[in-house]
Structure 1
Amino acid sequence: MRTRPLKVALLGCGVVGSEVARIMTTHADDLAARIGAPVELAGVAVRRPSRVREGIDPALITTDATALVKRGDIDVVVEVIGGIEPARTLITTAFEHGASVVSANKALLAQDGAALHAAAEANSKDLYYEAAVAGAIPLIRPLRESLAGDKVNRVLGIVNGTTNFILDKMDSTGAGYQEALDEATALGYAEADPTADVEGFDAAAKAAILAGIAFHTRVRLDDVYREGMTEVTAADFASAKEMGCTIKLLAICERAGDGASVTARVHPAMIPLTHPLASVRGAYNAVFVESDASGQLMFYGPGAGGSPTASAVLGDLVAVCRNRLSGATGPGESAYAALPVSPMGDVVTRYHISLDVADKPGVLAQVATVFAEHGVSIDTVRQQGKDGEASLVVVTHRASDAALGGTVEALRKLDTVRGVASIMRVEGE
């Protein structure tokens, strides 16, 4: 075993960073045996140096992250501060000064992954980011290494634990959205400001990363259609149960039918109770991968939290350190396919539409005519009426999102349609 330690700079020492530092210290001998050389925490960049950080030598703490990554003797920089800046500049500076990088920064990778990969390649360094998607679940490496010889056609997943906890509570207890959110906040699953989670921003960033790797195509955050889950109601769950479904916030990345383009989207959807993702409970994550040769695969586990995310970071750290010792680099960006990203209007799926309508003869015929005029075929219709008011639930066959949008716009113009109560896509069939 090499005796000179590999030096690691840690950017950020919050929930994840402190756990990375703890594991590096307590599992130092095991890490050294797995890598073939000791690893040494050489510096920790933080914003608030006065905070007590148990198990970390105060002499390692600095507020000058730029100076830390410029030192020249640093072998690997671990970035867990998040956000776009200063993380982007610090990572590129690390490459320029001889360090490889392990990052958990999904937002930055979704926005500027191509530029970061280019900077890593230009300096013959590694960029690893298993922890950026689905916490401890091994997903990035299987997609870009284990399935490198296969053709991935679809990635369908629950990639945000907060939203899955909320929807699971609504499903299992009949709670409303706000009640379930309040419980998630009290238990620490939701942030004080849950916008990034419940409006789908977090899942959209992860979808961009997954689509890029799965389809060997550059997919940016701006390419991902995003729809939050704040409008999901108890009535939606009741309708889902009548169909033998539940509701999940899904990240869906898939090739078009002809394989000439890809789509990436995040939105609530009904999925059959028979689908493996339907049984994912609480704050857990799961990703379902469909490919030509290996068929259907599912990856399941805790998708967030200090220890699970730190586990993914340490796995990357071991891989990068091994590469460092051998003088090699691991796989970089694979974007050779360069497939176009189609707009949401081109997506084809099924839909569940709930309408508030007047309870009088001829309404169903009017509604059916609108669907027919826009080329959307109806699978089933359910109508309930009382005291001059009625609800009409329509489930369609597969149709494009653009056709469905035109249908809904025309329905809203009918005098007999008092409102479109809910529109939900139906996936996983």
Structure 2
Amino acid sequence: MDQGNTAFLLIAAALVLLMTPGLAFFYGGLVKAKSVISMMMLSFGALGLIGVLWVVYGYAIAFPGAEGLVAPWSIDFTAIGLESLLETPEDAAFPPLAFVAFQATFAILTVALVSGAIADRAKFGAWMVFAGIWATVVYFPVASWVFNFGLADDGSFAYGGWTTFGLQEWLGTGVIDFAGGTAVHINAGAAALALALVLGRRVVFQKGAHVPHNPPFVLLGAGLLWFGWFGFNAGSELAADGTAAIAFVNTIAAPAAALLAWLVVEKIRNGKATSVGAASGAVAGLVAITPACASVTPMFAILLGIIAGAVCAVAVDLKFKLGFDDSLDVVGIHLVGGLIGTLFLGFFANNTGLLQSGGNPSQLIAQAVSAVAVLVYSFVLAFVIGLAIEKTMGFRVKNEDEIAGIDTVVHGEEGYSFGEPVAASSRI
């Protein structure tokens, strides 16, 4: 066992876990002051619930080690509860539980990302029910499609999810998704769009009606996300080597370029470059580079960042034109950014992209097929799950509660108390 790589993987897992509290700050700063507790609790609720489900059965669904093409619902029953993974095989590069921990943090973050589409109007209990079901029937299988593959002694695929192994058999190349452009960002963005449609618009839905209450929170959250993203991207190599270094550098270059591109679009469009725009641009670049971080050169990472920053800055306004209330722009940043990064590889991936391989379209086809498959699968199931919850226990709070502020209604707390404090906790 390589103790250096083991330490690298465990540190990367800790960095990715930090991204969920970072997301809570990012989302919390974007909503009104009377909704900040509710918004941040959606992320922390996902952290608690998905952390438990991953140990109990999530890993067993996402990483069944069966020979042959892994079907969408293959389950490794020996991995239920992780008891079979407590011992480290003699020839293992790192303990199996180190990989379990690393992938757990991906599952937690992906679910938390979805919550940004339903800010200001969702019941906490209904969200928890949705999070558990969606993770079980969507994220865990999709993670298997993308991340679960094994290699034979000759370096060929021995088994794996269909977007890697299956497309390799068909096209001669599988999808390139180094750290989760499809499994995390397109997946979460599609589910966010579905929930935005199920819950409907907020009581007041127009441009400028919901001004972020705390831009410093937004910047803090974006900074924590960027910091954790180095574990997300470089850690996905599972080894401290040259590929991890390339991923690390590209995780600096792309979001930096996207930040600048977003600010330029803002300046042209509104006459001002804002702090919230800077934070959003950085996140858009991080999203786009996620699938591509190990498969493009730093200069192409900058190009990708410029495209993602500019396009996502325009895409976030589509909700007002199309009429869906994606509160915190999960669709405009994560779905659009994930699609940009995934399809960019079809053109510019080292050696295999259309423009890097003498015109061979196989990589572009693989990227497009995988992106569309994840988008459709996630959207349809999220819509069905969300609609079922809305029709039974109710997903959305009452309009009067939304207007009054759901922090006190749902959690009995206030983010900022300037008068008599509201304290629901029994330990206060």
Q: Which has the higher strand share?
A: 1
Q: Which has the higher helix share?
A: 2
Structure number with greater Rg is: 1
Q: Is this a same-fold pair by TM over 0.5?
A: no
Which of the pair has the greater relative contact order for Cα pairs under 8 Å at 6+ separation?
2
